[in-house]
Amino acid sequence: MMLHGLRHGPPGPDCLHLCVDMQRLFGPGYTWSMAWFQRILPAVTALVGHDPARTIFTRFIPPLTASDLPGSWQRYYRKWERVTRSHLPDAALNLAPPLDAFVPPARIVDKMVYSPWFAPDLDRMIGRGRVDTLIVSGGETDQCVLATVLGAVDRGFRVILVSDALCSASDETHDALMMLYARRFDTQIELATTAEVLADWPRP
């Protein structure tokens, strides 16, 4: 049985919401479209709307062509050539509406790999030493969210994963990762619903 809820108390004032890759690229009509994307969008919107100035959006930016990235990424993008930027409309990289309307004051950090921690702007935006908790939403549970969460754990942040504001293209691996987060990282990661987070997250 998975533990659920804010087991270490309410999020304090030194808390940010990190919203992972909620872009049109993963919404309806695109190669990487996820069925869950539209389902979780209201929950993600509620989290962002609680305090837009304390939200950072990450965006996954594919290369122009497969040869623009090193090593196994070239094989990856030969498989997914349709999502390289040479085949995508620019609008595909934008945040999905209505999330795009929150910028500014919400901020954006771009990345070309799963983990946003390779983007030097993220640590600067977060302001190391001034933030102790990251609320995480977005997708995918088993790829970019995974990389985001493990990087946050390594940096010592308290991590609150919003269970009904996460999406994946695979139910099976989503469920497996939720179990992993709850059981193997139970002292560093909490799982809570949007309602639970918003009920205890102080308003600005």
| pLDDT for 128 | 66
Q: Is residue 9 part of a domain?
A: no
Q: Is the dihedral of CA 71, 72, 78, 82 positive or negative?
A: negative
Q: What CATH number has the domain bearing residue 136?
A: 3.40.50.850
Q: Is the dihedral of CA 120, 147, 30, 166 positive or negative?
A: negative
Q: Is residue 112 part of a domain?
A: yes
Domain of residue 118: give its range: 15-200
Q: pLDDT above 70 covers what percent of the chain?
A: 98
Q: Is residue 2 part of a domain?
A: no
**Cα-based distances in Å from 46 to 19, 71, 155, 186:** 12, 39, 27, 26
| pLDDT for 129 | 65
| pLDDT for 5 | 85
Number of domains in the chain: 1
pLDDT level of residue 35 (50, 70, 90 thresholds): confident
My answer on whether omega of the bond before 105 falls inside 30° of 0, hence cis, is yes
Residue among 90, 9, 87, 103 nearest 53 (CA): 103
- In tens, the pLDDT along 127-178 reads 766 899 999 999 999 999 999 999 999 999 999 999 999 999 999 999 999 9
pLDDT at 95 over 80: yes
**Cα distance between residue 177 and residue 13, in whole Å:** 28
- In tens, the pLDDT along 97-125 reads 999 999 999 999 999 999 999 998 898 88
Q: Is residue 143 part of a domain?
A: yes
Round the average pLDDT of the chain to a whole number and report it.
Answer: 94
Q: Is residue 83 part of a domain?
A: yes
Strands, E, within 141-203: which ranges?
Answer: 158-167, 189-192
Q: What is the Cα gyration radius of the chain?
A: 16
Tell if the pTM clears 0.75, that is, is over it: yes
pLDDT level of residue 13 (50, 70, 90 thresholds): confident
Tell the residue number behind the tokens 């992993």, with chain if given: 180
Q: Is residue 171 part of a domain?
A: yes
pLDDT level of residue 1 (50, 70, 90 thresholds): very low
Question: What is the rounded average pLDDT of the residues 85-104?
Answer: 97
